Structure 1
Amino acid sequence: MSTALNALLTKTLQELAQRCQRLKGSEASRKSQVMINDKTCG
């Protein structure tokens, strides 16, 4: 029982970490796009 719970928790944490990384990545790319837009407009 505890092993199954442990595995489930580990899997959930890994998925959350991946989602966070993806969100950070998209945020960073959005910021860089804004910077590029600022440079081209300026």
Structure 2
Amino acid sequence: MNYTIRYCEFCYEEVAVLGYEPESDRIFWECPNCGICAYYILL
């Protein structure tokens, strides 16, 4: 799993993916700017 860059959907800061759950195909990140955490579902 290579780490990818996403944009925070709340403040649009670039964030790096923190983790990956292969059993559920989810990636997890925490924004360093506003501190909001989110899950993205990989389609």
Range of TM-score over shorter length: under 0.3
Would you tell me which structure has more helix in proportion to its own residues?
Answer: 1
Would you tell me which structure has more strand in proportion to its own residues?
Answer: 2
Larger Rg: 1
Question: Under a length normalisation based on structure 2, what TM-score does the superposition of the two structures give?
Answer: 0.17
Question: Under a length normalisation based on structure 1, what TM-score does the superposition of the two structures give?
Answer: 0.17
